[in-house]
A and B are shown apart, each in its own frame.
Chain A
Amino acid sequence: MAEQYPREDMVVVLGTPTAESSRLYALTVTEGDPSWAGALAGTPLGLPVYHVTEDAIKCQVSPEVYEEQVTLMEMVLDVADIADAVQAVRDSSAPAV
């Protein structure tokens, strides 16, 4: 996948339910994880990663679509903790080259 597209064009957007799972996913896609057996096994380092509920994403999404697809879950998930976890991973990883 990463070979098909320029890396600077790619963004990973998460829908994970907890801060911990968000952190693990975010680490996997930024730092890579050879033991990860999922769809992103072998993904190279440095992909920018966001959670769909983060303001950086939310503010660009059609409000109607967001309301229909995400708002209810946003009410029940700890979105502040999730945002902190994903932000921390972004801050600690080298910017995409």
Chain B
Amino acid sequence: MQLQGKKIIALGERDGIQGSAIAQCTASAGAEVVLEVTHCFV
């Protein structure tokens, strides 16, 4: 699976990796982040 050119839904979690961190990672691989969310379950 190539990230280049893909539309990314970044589903982060407060106690794992935040959405914005996932977004930066996938953007660095040439993907476009179309949704970035971070959930909190505590």
A residues apposed to B, CB below 8 Å:
1, 4-5, 9-18, 21, 25, 29, 38-40, 47-48, 50, 52-53, 56-57, 60-62, 65-66, 69-70, 73, 77
A10 contacts B7, C-beta separation under 8 Å: yes
B25 contacts A70, C-beta separation under 8 Å: yes
Complex alpha-carbon distance, A89 and B41, angstroms? 22
B residues apposed to A, CB below 8 Å:
1-13, 15-19, 21-22, 24-26, 28-31, 34-35, 37-39, 41
**Known interface pairs A60-B2, A61-B28. Does A11 touch B8 (Cβ–Cβ under 8 Å)?**
yes
* B interface majority secondary structure: mixed
**Known interface pairs A61-B26, A65-B24, A66-B25. Does A11 touch B31 (Cβ–Cβ under 8 Å)?**
yes
Query: Looking across the interface, which residue of chain A has its beta carbon closest to that of B16?
Result: A17
**Which listed residue (B5, B21, B25) contacts A57, Cβ 8 A?**
B25
Complex alpha-carbon distance, A66 and B22, angstroms? 9
Complex alpha-carbon distance, A16 and B7, angstroms? 19
